[in-house]
Amino acid sequence: MHLKTLAYVSRPLGYDPQQLDDILQTARARNGALGITGLLVSRWDLFAQILEGPAAAVDAVFASIGRDHRHVQVTLRHEAPADRRLFADWTMHDERVPAWLWSHDEVLAGRHVSDPPDVLMAGLLRLAAGRATAGAASAAAARA
């Protein structure tokens, strides 16, 4: 089975927590059925998401995401074969951030689209690493 990783950014349209809950509910059900895992970073003015899983499944879900009217300016920033998953435990991890990586003015200026993709990937992985550490720490505390 060929795994791939894909990351994109977009701009929310009418962002609100209830809408985000709805998105995540659909996402987790479909991702679970298709073997997709990943991370969705959101704030009122920006979405950034990593999808990873079987290539055909990732492509199908990304096609749906591109047609979704709850966001605009869906821009693919990274796409590559993967030999392992970074988010194996998360059908879609929900990371609501008040501020992250770019200021609102930088997003308006398009930096999330024009910066090298490595900037986005490093920012996403940093968030994920923070979570993994927190998870490992609480698991260790639970065992103690």
Question: Can you give the binding site for ligand FMN, defined by CB under 6 A?
Answer: 23, 26-27, 30-31, 40, 47, 49, 51, 61, 64-65, 68, 70-71, 92
Nearest CB to ligand FMN, comparing residues 51 and 124: 51
Question: Coil, strand, or helix at residue 110?
Answer: coil
- Shortest Å, Cβ 20 to ligand FMN: 8
- Smallest separation, CB 72 to ligand FMN (Å): 10
| Of residues 70 and 78, the one with the C-beta less far from ligand FMN | 70
Q: What's the min distance (Å) between Cβ of 66 and ligand FMN?
A: 8
Q: Estimate the share of the chain in helix, then strand, then coil, as percent rounded to the nearest 5.
A: 45, 30, 25
Minimum distance between the CB of residue 143 and ligand FMN, rounded to whole angstroms? 31
Q: In this structure, what token pair is assigned to residue 6?
A: 């894909």
Q: Crossing angle, helix 17-34 and helix 55-67, to 10 degrees?
A: 150
Nearest approach, Cβ of 96 to ligand FMN (angstroms)?
Answer: 12
Q: State how far the Cα of 51 lies from the Cα of 7, in Å rounded to an integer.
A: 6
Our CB check for ligand FMN shows the closer of 72 and 122 to be 72
Residue type, 19: Q
Nearer to ligand FMN, 71 or 77 (CB): 71
**How many C-beta neighbours within 10 Å does residue 34 have?**
17
Nearest CA among 77, 34, 71 for reference residue 52: 34
5 or 31: CB nearest ligand FMN: 31
